[in-house]
Amino acid sequence: MKEMVLTQRILAHAAATPDKVALRMGGEQLTYGELAQKGKKQVEILSAWRKHHPAMMLSMGEKKLAPVVGMLGCLLSRRPYVVLDPGAPTLRQDQIIQDVEDAGPDLPGLAYLMYTSGSTGRPKGVQISRDNLDFFLGATRNLPLEPPGEAVWLTHALWSFDLSVLPLWQGLARGDRVVWLDTSRGVDFPKLAGEMAASGATCWVSTPSFARLWLRDPGFGEGMLPRLTLFFFCGEVLEPGLALALMERFPRARVINAYGPTEATVAATLMRIPWELAERREPLPVGRPLAGVSLAIAGQNGELLPYGQEGEILIGGPGVGEGYRGLPDLTRERFFTRDGIPWYRTGDLGRLENGLLWFHGRRDLQVKYRGCRIELGDLEENLLALPQVTGAVAALAEGRLAALVTTVPGAGMDSRELLRALGERLTPSLLPQRVFFTDALPMTPQGKIDRRAAGALLEQRMKGR
Ligand code: AMP
197-252 confidence digits (pLDDT tens): 999 999 999 999 999 999 999 999 999 999 999 999 999 999 999 999 999 999 99
Please give the distance, rounded to the nearest whole angstrom, from the Cα atom of residue 440 to the centre of ligand 1.
34
Mutation choice for ligand 1 from 373, 374, 430, CB with most ligand atoms inside 8 A = 373
> Which of 236, 284, 320 best tests ligand 1's pocket when mutated (most atoms within 8 Å of CB)?
236
What is the percentage of the chain residues whose pLDDT exceeds 90?
A: 83
Of residues 445 and 60, the one with the higher pLDDT is 445
Residue range 100-152, pLDDT digits in tens: 888 877 788 999 999 999 999 999 999 999 999 999 999 999 999 988 889 99
In 239-316, alpha helices (H): 240-249, 275-279
- The Cα 255–Cα 272 span in angstroms is 6
- pLDDT score of 51: 55
Question: How remote is the CA of residue 32 from the centroid of ligand 1, in Å?
Answer: 32
Residue 53 Cβ < 6 Å to ligand 1: no
**pLDDT, tens digit (0-9, with 9 covering 90-100), for 51-78:** 556 667 777 665 678 899 999 999 999 9
Q: How far apart are the first and last CA of the chain?
A: 61
Report the mean per-residue pLDDT for the chain. 93
The answer, yes or no, to whether any atom of ligand 1 lies below 6 A from the CB of 348, is yes
Q: What would the mean pLDDT of 377-406 be, rounded to a whole number?
A: 95
The amino acid sitting at 141 is: R
Distances (CA, A) of 166 to 137, 203, 250: 7, 11, 22
Q: Is the pLDDT of residue 15 over 60?
A: yes
Report the nearest-CA residue for atom 19 of ligand 1.
259
CA 340 to chain centre: 28
d(CA 261, ligand 1 centre) in Å: 6
Query: What is the rounded CA–CA span in Å between residue 418 and residue 325?
Result: 31
Assess whether the C-beta atom of 162 lies below 6 angstroms from ligand 1. Answer: yes
Other beta carbons within 10 angstroms of residue 221's beta carbon come to 17
